[in-house]
Structure 1
């Protein structure tokens, strides 16, 4: 007699349940990747609703609503690709977690766009191509084509993991659509040459400032026998310099219509704020430095606060400067659709600025982390001190550009600052007499012929800046303008043929 216990169950049902479980797990895995795009589509719908509520009783409402959706799409792509450069140094150095950095960036991006973003909107909407050179309807199709082509290119670049310039993208797109719509003579080539020059100058300037600040830190703090005492003396100065320059910028640009002060008075305000900040920071840094060991690792703790401050400052600067890339064409569309005249209102509607500001922040939160590691970790190794130099340099450069109404590329500035820090580290390691003397006093041994005796492959491997990333990023910068210009020209031709 068979005493083997029989298995209770229904094999067919069990198989079906197993299949359902696997399908459920697969669906859950796939759906996680759809959350961010789904939220993005919801934001596009909300942008269209806000635009519709604002212009529903005005002529050309349908065109404005469509343009608002494209501007929102463009703004999210700016946040995904461009804003990552602002928080990458802080995250790459370990001074901030990804979540905290994203929250800080989102808040200050929005503030920068809403408070100071109007200065460069007019450059994008009417400065590159003269609105008077084409009818209002033609201008509308040109701006729609520019928004779509630039946004799609930035989206593709983000998906490929390439940090490109959103300013390059929109300027090239507006230029391409404008040439087809009104001819080459409609383009302000003098302005374009100035903008193109700024694209070359801005990364060099950002790299130079970052390298100079890092050199100052190395000479006055890092390679001193008493690092902590040196930090007590100089870290408050660095924080004060940053806060003073930021206050002066606020007085000169976004708050000028309220304060109505001259340049001298604005600089005095900056000096006053810097002095007050220094007075506050001296006892704070003194307390933070109590009990710290006399080594570089301890210095990183003292640079955490200024790095957070600089990350916030850079995000504010980026919001002020790059929101124009999304809302500049939309502002031109709104004006042309309402009046059927080309031109630009000096006051941009708040709902237009809100779409750009919130779109940039949402794009950063949903898609920004993809490029943060590249800029923050893979170009050169960053610690809080180096990251502070990058952020401060990029912030100062972008703020100056925003005050001048010049749409420079924050990507170029931030990445140029990272490279500047890396190349300074290479040069300083080989050429600094202070560093050599410091190491010898500490009992270290340095072989002067160490680098010359290595083979070329070993020298290349030990470089502090990865040249492959340098070439890849520069190549992406070079092709952005022609790609978006050609795409916008083709899209404009199609739209104008169908609806013009």
Structure 2
């Protein structure tokens, strides 16, 4: 019981950090275009993250059962502790440097590394693990392409409606961003909060506290609350990187980016697939920005972000492996 309490606390700490780390991406476009003030945007996102997190559980079941079988694994509790510590450490490092890294990649990589350390390579469900990794890799490419197309469709619609003054167009899209930012925050909660739920369920099953991959209501409520509180805490470092250092975001491409990431995230959540909201949102911004003016994108910042994305899974796997060995000593 003591160990499961430690696991739940670590999972909630991870979700809290995820709230101010990843949710910053969800509201960066609306803050950048001044559709919402930072304070209002953060509180708005906190509420909708909580609602999104408490309504779904498909992703949680996938995370809890696809990477390894919690019903037949040795040292399952220690594995989860090592994975969560690893994910928390890497999230804090990337937050400190203002890098929009993926909490999803961090958690998936950490769980894989901890399983490898605690139960061996054969304990990893490579089919499920590889499926999740492929989806995580493809999602930013899809978000970029969809964002590029959506922006062109929006511009085409504006042309069909006739000549409109730029100030009026911007004013209308700022109003629309209030809705799109909320939808994006809801989608973030619906997908991202479930990953911590999945880890808790994995531990509950591995520790014989329950006999099925079901997410109890208390787990949903606790994870949703932790993410909501983390969002309320804010993440201005990440917001500045996403909203200012990639491209100057205008209301039109800000709305298009929000719409794109919402569609991609909701589709993945419907099929129970964990996505990186960081990758989806930033790729949508790059896609819509490329449609407006390719040369206006700060490709140096984009390159550094992509490098972080590439190294996150292997670093988190190695980190979790080392942490498991240290935890196991005690």
Give TM-score, length-normalised by structure 2. 0.95
Deviations 1:268-300 (Å, cap 9, x if unpaired)? xxxxxxxxxxxxxxxxxxxxxxxxxx4111112
Deviations, residues 253-279 of structure 1 (Å, cap 9, x unaligned): xxxxxxxxxxxxxxxxxxxxxxxxxxx
Give the SS at the match of 1:163: coil
Q: Is the 8 A contact 1:161 1:370 kept in 2?
A: yes
CA distance in 1, matches of 2:188, 2:273: 12
Structure 2: distance between partners of 1:486 and 1:123: 23
Extract unaligned runs of 5+ from structure 1.
1-59, 228-293, 428-462
Counterpart of 1:128 in structure 2 is 67
Aligned to 1:405: 272
Judge conservation of contact 1:133–1:182 (CA < 8 Å) in 2.
Answer: no
Question: After superposition, what is the alpha-carbon deviation per residue over 1:98-140, rounded to whole angstroms, capped at 9, x for unaligned?
Answer: 1121121111100000012x111112222101224423xx001
Mapped contact 2:4–2:77 kept (Cα < 8 A): no
**Alpha-carbon contact 1:141-1:495 (below 8 Å) kept:** yes
Give the SS at the match of 2:207.
Answer: helix
Question: CA shift at 1:205, angstroms?
Answer: 1.1
Give CA-to-partner distance per residue, 1:415-436, whole Å, 9 cap, x none: 1001101111125xxxxxxxxx
Comparing both chains, which one has the higher relative contact order based on Cα–Cα distances under 8 Å and sequence gaps of 6 or more?
Answer: 2
User: Does structure 1 residue 478 correspond to structure 2 residue 313?
Assistant: no
Aligned residue number for residue 153 of structure 1: 90
C-alpha separation in 1, matches of 2:228 and 2:235: 9
Moved over 6 A (4+): none
Q: Which residue of 2 aligns with 1:231?
A: none
Query: Retained in 1: the 8 A contact 2:71–2:205?
Result: no
Larger Rg: 1
Match of 1:99 among 36, 39, 43: 39
Please tell me whether the aligned partners of residues 145 and 177 of structure 1 are also in contact (alpha carbons under 8 angstroms): yes
* Pairing 1:416–2:286 present: no
- Residue 352 of structure 1 corresponds to 219
Matches within 5 A, 1:358-397: 358-397=225-264
Question: Residue 303 of structure 1 aligns to a residue in which SS?
Answer: helix
1:329 equivalent among 195, 199, 204: 199
Q: CA deviation at 1:314?
A: 1.0
Q: Could you tell me which residue of structure 1 aligns to residue 21 of structure 2?
A: 81
- Residues 250-269 of structure 1: matches in 2 within 5 Å? none
1:332, distance to aligned residue in structure 2 (A) = 2.0
CA distance in 1, matches of 2:198, 2:271: 16
- CA-based RMSD of the aligned residues comes to 1.7
Contact 1:206 1:417 in 2 (8 A): yes
The 5 A counterparts of 1:134-213 are: 134-135=73-74, 138-213=75-150
Report what 2:9 is aligned to: 69
Tell me the matched-pair count. Answer: 330
Q: Is the 8 A contact 1:79 1:360 kept in 2?
A: yes
| Cα gap change, 1:225 to 1:177, in 2 (>3 Å) | closer
**Cα displacement (A) at 1:316:** 1.0
Instruction: Write out aligned runs for 1:1-20 (5 A).
Output: none
Deviation, structure 1 residue 77 = 1.2
With normalisation by structure 1, the TM-score equals 0.64
**What's the offset of the Cα at 1:75?**
0.7
Confirm or deny: 8 A CA contact 2:48 2:182 kept in the other structure: yes
Alignment partner of 1:226 out of 148, 162, 166: 162
In the superposition, relative to structure 1, how do residues 402 and 224 fare at CA in structure 2: closer, same or farther (>3 Å)? closer
SS of the aligned residue for 1:345 comes to: coil
Whether 1:297 and 2:164 are equivalent positions in the alignment is no
The answer to whether the Cα contact below 8 Å between 1:92 and 1:382 also exists between their aligned partners in 2 is: yes
Identify the match of residue 184 of structure 2 among 314, 322, 329. Answer: 314
